[in-house]
A and B are shown apart, each in its own frame.
Chain A
């Protein structure tokens, strides 16, 4: 199946710093990518829909100024967690959808904010 990568896979940062997470579709072009957040032992919660060349669509309750999403090309979307705080510690997962479904998921990025 199609491959989606995320970088980094694991990041630890100090409170107040910003962290950028990259999501790449390696063998297909994705006009749409999705960003999810998964808390321990819970399901994936959609944070935002990232559209190439336009602004992301955020789910209710997700702060767009805190979670900046940029979809600069058909194979790359980035999520920047600005001024991270310990409550932002979580597992962030992206998915990308080729022209025909299904969506393919990246391996996830575990963020720990100290």
Chain B
């Protein structure tokens, strides 16, 4: 079965610091990869996605992620975080075939302090 690991449970950064959140998945086949964000009291929003092509994908709000197939990783990055980036971040994966459900990591809580 697929699984998604997010190793950082809670990350605390100062504003303007750089961010990298780890995500690793366990599935040997072709996958689609996603990062979702959940702001306090709000629903999940898609930050970015990777289906194929350039392994470096850029999303909304200055976020980007790099797919490294050999490492089964899809880490999320942002060069300079803002207080408004405080949220829960979820990595998700599904098989690249048919209507397969997303498998989510446990999430990483990001707290950005002024």
Q: Is B46 an interface residue (CB 8 A)?
A: yes
Contact residues, B89-111 vs A (CB, 8 A): 90, 94, 99, 101-107, 109
The one of B45, B46, B105 that contacts A43, using a Cβ cutoff of 8 Å? B105
A9 nearest in chain B by CB position: B43
* Interface residues on chain A, number (Cβ under 8 Å): 24
Residue contact A43 to B49, C-beta cutoff 8 Å: no
CB neighbours of B32 from chain A (8 A): 101-102
Residues of B within 8 A of A (CB): 32, 34, 36, 42-46, 49, 51, 90, 94, 99, 101-107, 109
Pairs A–B under 8 Å by Cβ, sample size 27: A31-B99, A32-B99, A34-B102, A41-B109, A42-B107, A43-B90, A43-B105, A43-B106, A44-B102, A45-B104, A46-B101, A46-B103, A49-B99, A49-B101, A93-B43, A93-B44, A101-B32, A101-B49, A101-B51, A101-B94, A102-B34, A102-B46, A102-B49, A103-B102, A105-B36, A107-B43, A108-B43
